Amino acid sequence: MILTDLSYFELLDYVQKMGLPRFRGEQIFDAIYSGKNLEEISNLPKGLKEQLLSIYPKYQILYKFESKDGTIKFLIKLDDDNAIESVLMKYKYGYTVCISTQVGCRMGCKFCASTLGGLVRNLTAGEMLGQILLINKFLGGKGSDRKITNVVLMGSGEPLDNYDNTIKFIELLSSQRGLNISQRNISISTCGLVDKIYQLADLKLNITLTISLHATSDEKRKSIMPIANRYTIKEIIDACKYYYKQTKRKIYFEYTLIADVNDSGEDQKSLKNILNGFLCHVNVIPLNTVKERSLKKTTRLMAYQFVEGLKKLGVSATVRRTMGEDIGGACGQLRANLLKL
Ligand code: SAH
């Protein structure tokens, strides 16, 4: 356990059980939410800091890579020396942070760098939150006066494969006593763990569900995403419809365009049939090529043409802005490079 795993009230409880007055708990909470490390806290006695040594987060920003487009990719070192990536993107409406939910990933998608070394371990809720707190501090934000407006769980890892920690993280992030980020501004991206989508739907959170679809037939999907051996596209769509029924939130689909794999006119028609009749939107993303993978990139122009084809069929779609391509913007690319060093 680290202290960022605890909500405000849990932390006050914990500190009280240590035999300390409530105001100490509040001081510790403020320090954590200001992204301070233990040495930077000036209002706690030395003895208490020593007591907190094993539970106070020690994660730190190891490297920052800044893209020409302003996107910054952070490599963050965890307490156990594992490294994860988080990405900061500036949009007109504010700052979005893309966080990792696991060290590595076990989903095995053929185009993705995060999964190259398999799953190392799950992140705790506090480690997910830590990514936000560190970047918020980097932006000059403090506690409730925060700079980050939106959070997407789209970095390395499969959030629904780390379900309990992910849910706890969303609760911490949207808590009024925490950073108070509206659930409407939180998106979770999944390769489609159907049973977990049903579980999530029943929580009736206000978060946005995004499905990494990437193919229009089960056969094709199996060739790029091993998870397709477990769940069919139909099962995923049924789960999405249930999610919509429970939450009334529009569902988003990610469609990474791979040359000669999923970019044909037939694919457009199949997508239309799959997504017929419910509120959803397709984000088309040109593949970010990963050296270790042999899949072929599509151009931005091809992505625009693909989207135009979808729109003509009545499917709501846009080309996702690619950000930070020059700094290894795609999932897991930085960490994969680091592991090679
Ligand atoms: N496991 C989750 C979240 C992490 S991946 C999921 O599958 O959704 C986040 C998104 O980035 C997914 O849509 C994924 O398919 C996409 N992605 C991964 N590698 C990519 C690459 N090389 N180029 C383009 N998109 C990629």
- Residue 68 is encoded by which pair of tokens? 């020409």
Judge contact between 236 and 211, C-beta under 8 A: yes
Cα–Cα distance measured from residue 71 to residue 318, given in angstroms and rounded to the nearest whole number = 20
Check pocket membership of 150 for ligand 1, CB cut-off 6 A. no
Question: How far is CA 200 from its chain centroid?
Answer: 16
Cα–Cα distance measured from residue 213 to residue 230, given in angstroms and rounded to the nearest whole number = 14
SS3 content of the chain, % helix, strand, coil (to 5): 40, 20, 40
Scanning the structure block, which residue is given the tokens 């799950």?
122
Residuewise pLDDT in 10s, the chain (341 residues): 999 999 999 999 999 999 999 999 999 999 999 999 999 999 999 999 999 999 999 999 999 999 888 899 999 999 999 999 999 999 888 999 999 999 999 999 999 989 989 999 999 999 999 999 999 999 998 877 899 999 999 999 999 999 999 999 999 999 999 999 999 999 999 999 999 999 999 999 999 999 999 999 999 999 999 999 999 999 999 999 999 999 999 999 999 999 999 999 999 999 999 999 889 999 999 988 777 677 888 888 999 999 999 999 999 999 987 666 666 655 566 566 656 54
Q: pTM of the predicted model, to two decimals?
A: 0.94
- Residue 334 is encoded by which pair of tokens? 């930085």
Check pocket membership of 154 for ligand 1, CB cut-off 6 A. yes
Phi-psi region of 303 (alpha: psi -120 to 50; beta: other; left: phi over 0): alpha
Catalytic residue numbers, as ranges: 85, 331
Say what angle helices 194-203 and 233-247 make with each other, to 10 degrees.
Answer: 0
- Residue 279 is encoded by which pair of tokens? 């509120």
Question: How far is CA 3 from its chain centroid?
Answer: 21
Q: How far is the CA of 152 from the centre of ligand 1 (A)?
A: 12
Ligand 1 pocket check: which of 212, 224, 320 to mutate, most ligand atoms within 8 Å of Cβ? Answer: 212
Judge contact between 95 and 149, C-beta under 8 A: yes
